[in-house]
Amino acid sequence: MNYCIANWKMNKSIKESCDFLRELKKKNLESIKSEIILCPSFVSLKAVKDELEDSAIQLGAQNVHQEKNGAYTGEVSIDMLREIECEWVILGHSERRQYFLEEDVIVNDKINTVIENDLKPILCIGENQSQRNNHETFSVLKSQLRGALCNINNDAKILVAYEPVWAIGTGLSASCKQIDEVANWINEFLLQEFSIKVPILYGGSVTSSNCGSVIDLENISGFLIGTSSLDVNEFSNICSIVNER
Ligand code: PGA
């Protein structure tokens, strides 16, 4: 199974989100084998869910709080996501790590909250430019995976997105060779350390021009897409290319 996940970040109003979905539904992607997941802002989630109707397209949130409820001004709980039948949650995105100081231990709490409440986490990991330059890529990924996946239920459905920080929003995608090397390593590491095999996605300046060669890699099962997911034609082109594979 392949995945095409749109991470809209802090973009698109409720109206723009619903307009996008209406256009996407016209693209005849309904018959496709891959899973398409839209992750709008919190305020658009309910409206997008209503607009989905019977569509096979799924809904994801961009974050959740680790506690069930309480005095956490500005936060959104897992029950709130469950109430609107949101199925997926992006966790550990590099922007959350960088701007909101989310550490692996918090990501781990959030993953466990998501799994215990029958939603599905999309865990993002990735090294920054200086870590890559210093040949620290694998040690960074190892500690992010160990930290985030500590004590998780091995039977849980989870996706891991490899997103090198230097490739996010820069227009500079990682090369197939780099992605292949890391995806193979993640696959091996998760098997050895956690006895789990999970779909591994790539994220970082994915476009309809570069996604075809990446989806052909043995251990890549789809994409987490930021900038290119904001344009309905570009996003649906990526979904079609992924679906042909
Ligand atoms: P990008 O973002 O596609 O704009 O590089 C990817 C992401 O942050 O998930």
From the first residue on, what is the mean pLDDT of each consecutive set of 10 residues in the chain (245 residues)? 97 98 88 90 98 93 97 98 98 96 97 97 98 98 97 93 97 96 98 96 98 97 98 97 88
Name the catalytic one among 35, 93, 95, 102: 93
Catalytic residue (choose from 35, 51, 127, 163): 163
What pLDDT, on a 0 to 100 scale, did the predictor assign at position 167? 96
Backbone angles phi, psi at 119, to 5 degrees: -100, 175
Give residues with Cβ within 8 angstroms of 1, minimum separation 6.
Answer: 33, 34, 35, 199, 221
Using most ligand atoms within 8 A of CB, pick from 201, 206, 209 the residue to mutate for ligand 1: 206
Rounded to the nearest whole angstrom, what is the distance from the C-alpha of residue 90 to the centroid of ligand 1?
12
Q: How far apart are CA 138 and CA 158, in angstroms?
A: 20
Residue 30's pLDDT is: 64
Verify whether residue 135 is a known catalytic residue: no
Q: How far does the centroid of ligand 1 lie from the alpha carbon of residue 70, in Å?
A: 32
Best residue for ligand 1 mutational test, from 227, 229, 238 (most atoms within 8 Å of Cβ): 227
Predicted local distance difference test score (pLDDT) of residue 28: 79
